[in-house]
Amino acid sequence: MSETYDIVIIGGGIIGAAVAYHLAKKNYGKIAVVEKDQYLGNCSTAKCAGGIRAQFSSEINVRMSLLSEDKFETFAQDMDAEVQFDQVGYLFVLTNDEQVKTFRAQFEMWKRLGVPAQWLSRDEIKSLVPVLNVDDILAGTFSKKDGIGDPHQFTQGYVGAARRLGVKFLLETEAVGIAATGDKITSVKTYNGELLTNTVVNAAGPYARQIAGFLGIDLPVVPIKRQIVTTAPLDFISESFPMVVDIGSGLYTHKESGGLLLGWADKNTPEGFDESVDPEYTDTILMKGLDRIPQLETAEIKTAWGGLYESTPDHHAVIGPSGEYPRFFHCTGFSGHGFMHAPAAGIVTAELICGEKTSFDISPLSPHRFVGAVLGEEGTVI
């Protein structure tokens, strides 16, 4: 195999699919997505909790979310796909003065940027989600535009629409090298042969550092395991149960198949590709869940899984051309937010590749930031 493409995207998760679709929509030319797995969306995208929110601490993440939420809302019609964005809202609960102060400042920023969040008292939180133990809660924020979606459905939506526009998805095709002459890319090498191209997108999720390494670039995107546990159906979970994020404990939980999905980011987890389920990690999630929702005591555990975050030092994505090779673009490092930011990431990456002005300023996500100052800590909650 030695075919020529106008662009080769490495990675067939939701990010690679979204970038491919937005390029095809702009008639970019011959587009290939290479995916080493037998299936698309089978890596981090398949492990995702499905959370979609605009309540972030940094402006750039809020902007990524606002554009993405608009696109999620019209995705079914725009892409002729069966998807559901269940806008049950995200509720953040705050349990100390420091958190309240931080969120008060963020709340002002959200209002300025157009996030329709509300500030809630303890009583308002109790009436919104009666099963919550609110004894230690001081206040909270809630945005009804946030919610949950099925990452598989949205990935397939992008893939289907991209295919209809002529994008080739090459499965079981692992990229093993990128060739260049000077600062110009000439091809992507795979186990199935060479794909001639002058432009490459690194959308390899937790493997993004390896892809950058093909060109001798040290991209600080590392895989870190995160675990999730789900329960069997629970009679106290209503259709409108929102995503609840407990800022103090780091627990997050949302309704899932009649029960609950619960997760938490153990900040002590070492980086690495291990995805095995650690029973102690699962127990810690459940203990945090019980503290916030005592009725979980009777819950039957359905399943647990581990998956990889593709994390950067400042927990923000890396989007843009590498300094060393102007036609080698990164779109990765979403640090737990790659599903919810896929629509905006696909749009702005396609704009960059086409040499257009981006929909909004994405310079804070530039790969170049790692050689200088970094963004503030975003935190690792979903």
Ligand X SMILES: Cc1cc2nc3c(=O)[nH]c(=O)nc-3n(C[C@H](O)[C@H](O)[C@H](O)COP(=O)(O)OP(=O)(O)OC[C@H]3O[C@@H](n4cnc5c(N)ncnc54)[C@H](O)[C@@H]3O)c2cc1C
> Where does this chain bind ligand X (CB under 6 A)?
10-16, 34-37, 42-45, 47-51, 174-175, 203-207, 226, 228, 307-310, 332, 334, 336-340, 382
Least gap, CB of 235 to ligand X (angstroms): 25
Least gap, CB of 284 to ligand X (angstroms): 14
The nearer residue to ligand X, 41 or 140, going by C-beta atoms, is 41
The nearer residue to ligand X, 134 or 212, going by C-beta atoms, is 212
Distances (CA, A) of 200 to 39, 250, 291, 328, 332: 21, 37, 47, 5, 13
The nearer residue to ligand X, 24 or 139, going by C-beta atoms, is 24
Least gap, CB of 230 to ligand X (angstroms): 11
Least gap, CB of 337 to ligand X (angstroms): 4
Least gap, CB of 243 to ligand X (angstroms): 8
Decide if 260 contacts 253 (C-beta within 8 A): yes
The nearer residue to ligand X, 124 or 150, going by C-beta atoms, is 150
The nearer residue to ligand X, 36 or 292, going by C-beta atoms, is 36
Least gap, CB of 249 to ligand X (angstroms): 17
Least gap, CB of 90 to ligand X (angstroms): 10
The nearer residue to ligand X, 231 or 332, going by C-beta atoms, is 332
Query: Could you give the angle at the alpha carbon of 308 between the alpha carbons of 219 and 243, nearest 5°?
Result: 120
Sign of CA dihedral 214, 353, 59, 63: negative
The nearer residue to ligand X, 71 or 134, going by C-beta atoms, is 71
The nearer residue to ligand X, 256 or 310, going by C-beta atoms, is 310
Least gap, CB of 353 to ligand X (angstroms): 16
Question: Can you give the three-state secondary structure of the chain, one letter per residue?
Answer: CEEECCEEEECCCHHHHHHHHHHHHCCCCCEEEECCCCCCCCCHHHHCCCEECCCCCCHHHHHHHHHHHHHHHHHHHHHCCCCCEECCCEEEEECCHHHHHHHHHHHHHHHHHCCCEEEEEHHHHHHHCCCCCCCCCCEEEEECCCEEECHHHHHHHHHHHHHHCCCEEECCCCEEEEEEECCEEEEEEECCEEEECCCEEECCHHHHHHHHHCCCCCCCCEEEEEEEEEECCCCCCCCCCCEEEECCCCCEEEEECCEEEEEECCCCCCECCCCCCCHHHHHHHHHHHHHHCHHHHHCCEEEEEEEEEEECCCCCCEEEECCCCCCEEEEECCCCCCCCCHHHHHHHHHHHHCCCCCCCCCHHHCHHHHHCCCCCCCCCCC
Least gap, CB of 73 to ligand X (angstroms): 16
The nearer residue to ligand X, 110 or 207, going by C-beta atoms, is 207
